Amino acid sequence: MSADDLRGLSARVDRLDSQDESSQDRKKPLWRPVRFLVGLGVVSLTVSLSWVGQQATTRSAQVETVSLEALMVSDAPRRSIPLDMHPRVDKWLEAFQTTHRDHFAYLLIKKKRFDEVIQSNLRMRGMPEELVYIPMIESEYSPLAVSRVSAVGLWQFMSPTALQYGLRVDPYVDERRDPIRATDAALDYLDYLHNRFGGSWYLAAAAFNAGPGRLERVLNRRAEGKEWNDALFWEIVDYLPRETREYIPKMIAVTRLAKQAEAQREAVEFASHTVTPYRYDNIFVPGGTTLQSVADALDANAGLLVALNPHLTQRMTPPGEMYGIRVPVGSGAVAVAMLSLGLPARRADD
């Protein structure tokens, strides 16, 4: 069962129709405060770095250790999403316990990779923990997922929406693939949709999938004068795009089953799948530095650096600017020190 199977059979065409959104959407500011999930302590180092193809020069390198345990947890009350029972939910509950049981168990294991990142952000915002399952439906928790309509990343952002919410998308960096930045933007977007659609998380999630303009048209045609709430979703479900009709039922089903598995301690472990939580140190290096260069400095496998930096689409930092590279936790200072010794740094054209 692929990511496309989970997302459904119909393409999310509405996300391409940015011109079809309301003036409220178009006026959404391009700039927004950025809340990076970084630890409270930051160690700064200034070192002399020598790089192949450049004159030796004094540059600044900063090591940021990301420690999610050190995050300030908001005292705001945490909301929750109702887990209604409905025939559409029953269908997915049965599927995930029978024909798709093994794959669902595998996805629960994959969830562990980004659980801290997403849940910490949700806690800080006082948002429902159930939203952690949206990337399971959207991308199967894969930062590299690309849909048939070119939605990208854990949260399957289309480029116009990504840019609207402050994500960088260019030939060198695609922050839709960045678990940290994309999660922050996705929760900003979901929070906006939640407020726009009457405080209903069902409608907010449906709008996240189908596009707010499309959902609003259905509501105006089929539910004029009615209060926008969770119960209304079930009244209009048959008028929604086919994928969106199943989106909320899937979310409810996977949430129910995941909570049940956790309560009963029935998580299935796959011996061939070791899941490491997404944690890292961040070092700043000159433009054009390849991930292979940093891997060589650390005597590490380049694949590990690629996995920590899925947003660097060319496997190198963008030319002409200092840029952060994520390295394994505890190795940031070592990487800076080794690079400072003037070790050969492979360029993109090596």
Alpha carbon distance 217, 19 (integer Å): 14
Q: Based on the domain organization, do 246 and 291 belong to the same domain?
A: no
The predicted model gives 274-281 an average pLDDT of 90
Q: Based on the domain organization, do 281 and 258 belong to the same domain?
A: no
The domain boundary residue, chosen from 228, 243, 264: 264
pLDDT score at 76:
55
- Half-sphere exposure at residue 35, Cβ-oriented, CA atoms within 13 angstroms: 17
What is the residue range of 295's domain? Answer: 42-69+277-340
Q: Does 348 reside within a domain?
A: no
The predicted model gives 4-8 an average pLDDT of 44
Q: Does 202 reside within a domain?
A: yes
Q: Does 347 reside within a domain?
A: no
The predicted model gives 130-153 an average pLDDT of 96
The CB density around residue 320, as the number of other CB atoms within 10 Å, is 9
Q: Based on the domain organization, do 103 and 247 belong to the same domain?
A: yes
Q: Based on the domain organization, do 258 and 288 belong to the same domain?
A: no
- CB–CB of 200/233 below 8 Å? yes
Q: Based on the domain organization, do 316 and 202 belong to the same domain?
A: no
Q: Based on the domain organization, do 16 and 159 belong to the same domain?
A: yes
Q: Based on the domain organization, do 200 and 321 belong to the same domain?
A: no
Q: How confident is the model at residue 175 (pLDDT cuts 50, 70, 90)?
A: very high
pLDDT score at 172:
98
The predicted model gives 166-185 an average pLDDT of 98
The predicted model gives 240-260 an average pLDDT of 95
Alpha carbon distance 255, 100 (integer Å): 15
Q: Based on the domain organization, do 17 and 62 belong to the same domain?
A: no
Q: Of residues 315 and 75, which shows the higher confidence score?
A: 315
> Is residue 268 over pLDDT 80?
no
Q: What is the CATH number of the domain that holds 154?
A: 1.10.530.10
The predicted model gives 197-225 an average pLDDT of 97
Alpha carbon distance 172, 191 (integer Å): 29
Q: Does 99 reside within a domain?
A: yes
Q: How confident is the model at residue 233 (pLDDT cuts 50, 70, 90)?
A: very high
- Torsion-angle region of 330 (φ positive above 0: left; ψ -120 to 50: alpha; else: beta): left
Q: Based on the domain organization, do 228 and 132 belong to the same domain?
A: yes
- Crossing angle of the two packed helices 291-298 and 332-340, in degrees rounded to 10: 100
The predicted model gives 303-322 an average pLDDT of 97
By residue count, the chain amounts to 350
Q: Does 217 reside within a domain?
A: yes
pLDDT score at 13:
28
Q: Of residues 262 and 273, which shows the higher confidence score?
A: 262
Alpha carbon distance 57, 50 (integer Å): 7
- CB–CB of 293/346 below 8 Å? yes
Q: Based on the domain organization, do 123 and 187 belong to the same domain?
A: yes
- CB–CB of 210/12 below 8 Å? yes
Q: Which long-range contacts (CB under 8 A, 24 or more apart) does 160-165 make?
A: 160/15, 160/16, 160/18, 161/15, 161/18, 161/189, 163/30, 164/18, 164/25, 164/28, 164/30, 165/28, 165/32, 165/189
Q: Does 300 reside within a domain?
A: yes
pLDDT score at 312:
98
pLDDT score at 34:
37
∠ CA 129-28-211, rounded to 5°: 60
Q: Does 272 reside within a domain?
A: no
Q: Does 8 reside within a domain?
A: yes
The predicted model gives 320-348 an average pLDDT of 82
Alpha carbon distance 163, 169 (integer Å): 7
Distant-in-sequence, close-in-space partners of 204: CB < 8 Å, separation ≥ 6: 190, 193, 194, 196, 197
pLDDT score at 252:
97
Alpha carbon distance 153, 163 (integer Å): 14
- Torsion-angle region of 166 (φ positive above 0: left; ψ -120 to 50: alpha; else: beta): left
Task: Please state the domain count of the chain.
Answer: 2
Token pair, residue 242, equals 């086919």
Alpha carbon distance 327, 208 (integer Å): 32
pLDDT tens sequence across 162-173: 999 999 999 999
Q: Based on the domain organization, do 100 and 206 belong to the same domain?
A: yes
The predicted model gives 201-220 an average pLDDT of 97
The predicted model gives 241-257 an average pLDDT of 96
pLDDT, mean over the chain = 80
pLDDT tens sequence across 94-136: 999 999 999 999 999 999 999 999 999 999 999 999 999 999 9
The domain boundary residue, chosen from 242, 264, 286: 264
The CB density around residue 349, as the number of other CB atoms within 10 Å, is 8
The domain boundary residue, chosen from 264, 299, 324: 264
Q: Based on the domain organization, do 53 and 180 belong to the same domain?
A: no
Q: How confident is the model at residue 65 (pLDDT cuts 50, 70, 90)?
A: low
For 74, which DSSP code? P
Token pair, residue 71, equals 């995050």
The CB density around residue 272, as the number of other CB atoms within 10 Å, is 4
- CB–CB of 259/26 below 8 Å? no
Alpha carbon distance 323, 170 (integer Å): 14
pLDDT score at 24:
31
Least confident range of 116-120, 212-216, 271-275, 281-285: 271-275
Q: Of residues 293 and 50, which shows the higher confidence score?
A: 293
